Amino acid sequence: MARVFDVLDDLFGLPKHYVLAGLSVPTRSRGDVQTCTDWGSPVIWDGMFDPDHYDQEHRRNHSSVSLTVFAVGRYLDAYLEALLLSAERHFMVALPVTYYVFTDVPERVPDIQLGPERSLKVVRVQRHSRWQDISMMHMRAIADAIESQIRQYSRYVFCFDVDQVFVGRFGSEALGDSVALSRAYMETGDFYCHAAVFGGSWQTVKNMTETCYQTIMEDKENQMEALWHDESHLNKYLWLHKPSRVLSPEYCWSSDIGYRGDMHVTRLLWAKKNYDTLRVTV
């Protein structure tokens, strides 16, 4: 299907259109990368979209976004302020945004000066003795927050790891009913998706996180633990429930990996990590 779209675009010079979350938006083809999944969802790369068009359509539809992030233990002091400051410059700047910071130390959340139609809410969470449990319990906390608060204020939810920094536009072109970040393309199966970035409509993200939490607890009852913890459960969910939108590696990259000719821009970068000190729990 991707090749059919690309050939038609090359022959007639016409942009493709995808209907996502009630919006009809044009996308352009790129011949050097995969721009469509086998099930017909777009893979978003620079050069495929008109950012102003997306922003106008979403403003017209009164779209709003919640960003969730967990900053537990030493991760808060190491990363949270940089993430929030960079999000103010680059994340959904055309739309209303509410930040939800989940932490065990609410009093240490930095006081960030926010722009118009931007707000921040702090949610206290329990600190677990193992970092693996901290990671996996994210799913339950996100689902609870969507049910109790987020669904009242935001149409979309994006979930991020805290140890990242926005360095370029991460805008409304990324919004859809179910959004996954491509970490790799598998020779068999589908894309392998990164748990550092996922999102969608609040209804879809609520179902996604509730399902992942249920399968995590089923594993615990059977004294099992997935190899990559919450990311393994997320990938199983996305394999069974195909995302309506896949973000290219532009939307989460590591400078340690180096240069790639097909990446014209970088939008989100992994921060330097020192797990020996950050993952110490008490």
For 120-142, the pLDDT digits (tens) are 999 999 876 655 555 567 889 99
Q: Give tens-digit pLDDT for 7-49.
A: 323 322 334 544 444 454 555 678 889 898 989 999 999 999 9
Q: 88 catalytic, yes or no?
A: no
Mean pLDDT, residues 172-182: 95
All domains of the chain in start order, with CATH: 43-278 (3.90.550.10)
Distance CA 143, CA 151 (A): 10
Choosing from 57, 173, 231, 250, the catalytic residue is: 231
Binding-site residues for Mn(2+) sit at: 161, 163
Binding-site residues for UDP-N-acetyl-alpha-D-galactosamine sit at: 70-72, 75, 161-163
* pTM, full prediction: 0.84
In contact, 84 and 99? CB cutoff 8 Å: yes
